[in-house]
Homo-oligomer: A and B are copies of this chain.
Amino acid sequence: MTHSAVAAFGRDAGRLSVGGVPVDRLAERAGGTPFFAYDRRLLTERVALLRATLPAEVKLSYAVKANPMPAVVQHLSGLVDGLDVASALEMRAALDTPVPPERISFAGPGKTDAELRQAIAAGVTIEMESENEADRVAAQGRALGIRPRVAVRVNPDFAVKGSGMRLGGGPQQFGVDCERVPALLKDLAQADVEFLGFHIFAGSQNLHAESLIEAQRRTVDLAVRLAGESPLPVRYLNLGGGFGIPYHDRDRPLDLAAVGANLAALVAGPIREGLPQARIAVELGRYIVGECGVYVTRVVDRKESRGKTYLVVDGGLHHQLAASGNFGQVIRRNYPIAVAGRVDDEPAETVTVVGCLCTPLDLLGDNVSLPRAEVGDLVVLFQAGAYGLTASPTAFLGHPAPAEMLL
């Protein structure tokens, strides 16, 4: 039980608790297992940590796609400065919060005309991913008689080392290549749109502060350069996110203080000088919610097979695809895992935890050291707050949907 994710949750006489309620009681409250439980206090503390570590000039936006549960979005809406959405449905969830539309940004490479129309009518900021999208935004704005609020997503000319996923540099489906942005800005100056600024984001799930620092420096440098060629003032710069969380035993947590210090230096230096009117934002999803949630399953079978012990649980990759190693990971490694009723016990055996699906892909913990668990015991997967339920094939094999609770 050394992983920091486990220690963050409460304990009550050897039982794991979320929001002060033991997990076994939550299972009764949910009407069964499996379920997701998110901890309101941990969400609040995570945003407070970001506020305390990043300079006040850097605004926080929550990327709803990481966890779109309405209660989570509502809770975070009172803590952050803005919300980022990736679809019309996410936009509607964001608009249902007190966050004003102009603090909601809408990104994504395949926005349809219908989605653009909804976004323009709502008054949110559209982060445009191509020249074609810029034309379509202007046309929809004219049709509606509303001046769209727009930013340009820029594909930088550099990548970020050490990112879990690369979203910038080289050819990309995201954004407009930075070398073509000046021409687009000239067009936008003539178009009937309200140009705000840039979204530049090069990679996600990065645990290396030095890589993020370099990316942020280069991003600001690029934004300053583009602002210099812009016929319109730059009033907005979304630096993206990419702050990683430690999923595996050997992962070292991100040095947030170093990232904060660098952002402070950027704000005091090149941003003050080159982007004096710009509202600066970082957009974080996983970093805010990822460590604040658990996925709780129950052991249905405990079986031996040729020297190996399996715990078969009633959940699986249909609810937690990433934990099974099947969502973008090159190498599968275990997420932190615990027996909910024995969090203070020492490991007693090596077991393999599998889900209930008829596929060998449904592997939740491979050869993990755990206290002994019997049929009926609850097994908890940590780091389940982001890209869990909605990033999983929930209809696969037709098992019931799990409950989600914010505590």
Contact = CB atoms under 8 A, between A and B. Distances in A.
B359 A398 contact: no
Q: Oligomeric state, in number of copies?
A: 2
Interface string A383-406: 000000111111111111000000
Contacts of A111: 300, 356
B397 A394 contact: no
Contact of A398 (B68, B129, B166, B400): B68
B89 A132 contact: no
Interface string A277-320: 00000000000000000000000111101111010111010000
B301 A86 contact: no
A359 B66 CA distance: 12
Contacts of A397: 65, 86-87, 90, 108, 390
Nearest to A398: B89
A395 B394 CA distance: 8
A326 interface: yes
Interface string A76-113: 00000000001111100100000000000001111110
A88 B110 CA distance: 37
A33 B174 CA distance: 22
A193 to B, nearest CB: 17
A133 B299 CA distance: 12
The residue in A357, A395, A396 that gathers the most chain B C-beta atoms within 10 A of its C-beta is A396
A336 interface: no
A321 interface: yes
B399 A87 contact: yes
B110 A356 contact: yes
Nearest to A127: B358
A306 B399 contact: no
A127 to B, nearest CB: 10
A4 interface: no
A58 interface: no
Given A110-B357, A392-B393, 14 more contacts: A65-B358, A65-B396, A88-B398, A89-B398, A89-B400, A109-B301, A109-B356, A129-B301, A165-B361, A174-B358, A326-B328, A389-B395, A391-B393, A393-B393
